[in-house]
Structure 1
């Protein structure tokens, strides 16, 4: 079994769950070839991601000349298939805010991908994210490439379903995987009933580095941590406002933001303006081992997202025995149980977020350790990368068996 994986950017510091899935599949005897639309490996922090860069083919790295050449070659070799793919790309482009020309570019990428997959003898193409990689995968199949499948993460895919031709991508796939029960229902919303049996839940997982180490007791510290890119939907700005209320209530705390992004200058100014300098630290992107160390040294993970599916950082925090403060959105309540593995508050409610943080800081560490232990047990049951990869292998096997 030879499976190709395609994402928009791989490896990527925020997509460790894809690497874990690929590595787990290879440990199960599946041959996996890595492809990405663009090269992002230069920003890799973790040694494992740096190693993945060497195994990954970035389609755009081939250059415009190569893409044009392979496109022309494909047209003369299979004109009918090419014209069908061109019609599809044009149709999608007219709906999209990215336009027709960009979708013709996706067609050129699909031509190159089909050629590469044929050389490697890949049996199936799997895509993470139903955005532009799914367009390339679908066009690749129309051009004569292998069947494709999609893992849907959200929430971006669900923000503009008609504009990115989500229904056509879903229903053109051999199967669609969601990483949460909530996500599966979002796929149901945009597919016909007869397609529903082809929609499955395969959760993102954590690897042996988290699963093989028993959760440690919560340290007697007032340090809290948030692991996420510095983007609007992760809720950093509202968290800073909530932390100001915590500070005004006279509750001591230390917050570490692990991650980076375009909002960093704005957030740094906000911290200074609200008199929280010295209490909130920006750590930037960290390696897997560094993230685990930040979590181990913390009292809890604070995750105030208002647009999400199910953050992998929550799984990682619970795996090391740290309770989580999350929000009542998407798949979060599937993992974070109020009063059992952590707390959940309404997204965007600054007062309730501040009150929950004060409660975390005032709860005895023995109680927090029990919550963390319950969370670690739940992650081991639901988010073992090895178990979830076995589910993916079974889905691939079914598709390949049906093709015989």
Structure 2
């Protein structure tokens, strides 16, 4: 196989985003292995997410479906081109869109939009000679991918993350997507188990464990800071549990008056979180610094003493992999796929979600025992090198892709 003979396309809802750098890493790793990858996105990413040269470069080379569909000529020619090219496929795709639409007029209208987006994307893929379509995030963009595959005859696969899709698998017709996909890359054993729960057993052989990953060499272990520098990296949304961390911090400052938390990320909860910090008298202990590039996150990890992630729901957070690759101990919640990455008491500490006192105690344990913290960091990096190296995981994904291209 040569990359020119078998180009593939990647699709997601918004690309590139500062919060989804794992997709960029995967694309880069596949390209480094000789695979030609066309990147496609339903929506154009906001400028706030283009925080580094890598994001800006990817943005320039990405095909944006909705931007293209805004041209009446492009949209009409894509729809009627698909109809004239194969009336049978066109009808089958329309029926698939109807059958997989959730109940309600609004959802049916959305399904019509997905069909139109699929027509535009199918035209683009055909022009680019794409032979396989891979989707990340199995919600609306995967609906577009499924319809595009039916309309164009190009097979598709997808990476299943969670956790939000597992809250509404019927709405997003996860069963139909698994049934029609050539394979599904599940990011953890937990993720695979949920896919099995919502699909027919005859399709379970399609479900493969392909971890998201990081490049361990990008996160050279640093010396840390004062021993009291905490770091949080993530979207500022309720699911990340940051209010719990701030309440824990109120307890920690009583015994660690010089503790400080840097918050990397942004989102709809920022204003409320800043208000909580002010009300709790933590203004000198918390800094909100917004989105940062991959390079800047790596630099922040080198300066930090630990990473804390108090989430209520997760897949397998890539930021934990980054911290562990940087030999930083982590404190996180014992949910979903996190225990598959973090061994409690070995590479970090895991606590029940929403437990303020347990989180404060765990952080205190790490702050109070530098030698144990160092040992956890070493164990964490070894775990990432063994099971979450992006080059190894992309090679496994590439093998699945090649099975259908050769």
TM-score grouping bracket, smaller chain normalisation: over 0.9
Query: Counterpart of 1:88?
Result: 96
Quote the offset at 1:90 in angstroms: 2.1
Unaligned 5+ runs, structure 1: none
Query: Counterpart of 2:213?
Result: 205
Contact in 2 for aligned 1:218/1:369 (Cα 8 Å): no
Query: Counterpart of 2:122?
Result: 114
Query: Counterpart of 1:2?
Result: 7
Cα distance in structure 2, aligned partners of 1:206 and 1:96: 41
Residues 35-50 of structure 1 aligned to structure 2 (within 5 Å): 35-40=40-45, 42-43=47-48, 44-50=50-56
RMSD: 1.6
Residues 1-400 of structure 1 aligned to structure 2 (within 5 Å): 1-40=6-45, 42-43=47-48, 44-64=50-70, 65=72, 66-95=74-103, 99-207=107-215, 210-211=216-217, 214-249=220-255, 251-364=257-370, 366-400=371-405
Cα distance in structure 2, aligned partners of 1:97 and 1:266: 34
Q: 1:400 to 1:97 in 2, by over 3 A?
A: farther
TM-score w.r.t. length of structure 2: 0.94
TM-score w.r.t. length of structure 1: 0.95
Q: 1:97 to 1:381 in 2, by over 3 A?
A: farther
Quote the offset at 1:24 in angstroms: 0.7
User: Which is further off, 55-64 or 94-103?
Assistant: 94-103
The C-alpha deviation readout for 1:241-268, integer Å capped at 9, x for no partner, is: 1111222456531001110001000000
Cα distance in structure 2, aligned partners of 1:96 and 1:267: 35
Cα distance in structure 1, aligned partners of 2:16 and 2:222: 30
Q: 1:243 to 1:71 in 2, by over 3 A?
A: same
Cα distance in structure 1, aligned partners of 2:130 and 2:101: 28
Cα distance in structure 1, aligned partners of 2:282 and 2:257: 13
Cα distance in structure 1, aligned partners of 2:294 and 2:288: 17
Contact in 1 for aligned 2:316/2:337 (Cα 8 Å): yes
Unaligned 5+ runs, structure 2: 1-5
Q: Secondary structure at the match of 1:344?
A: strand
Runs of 4+ more than 6 Å apart: none
Q: Secondary structure at the match of 1:93?
A: coil
Q: Secondary structure at the match of 1:24?
A: helix
Contact in 2 for aligned 1:2/1:122 (Cα 8 Å): yes
The C-alpha deviation readout for 1:110-136, integer Å capped at 9, x for no partner, is: 111111111111111100011111111
Q: 1:94 to 1:219 in 2, by over 3 A?
A: closer
Q: Secondary structure at the match of 2:12?
A: strand
Contact in 1 for aligned 2:102/2:172 (Cα 8 Å): no
| Alignment size in residue pairs | 398
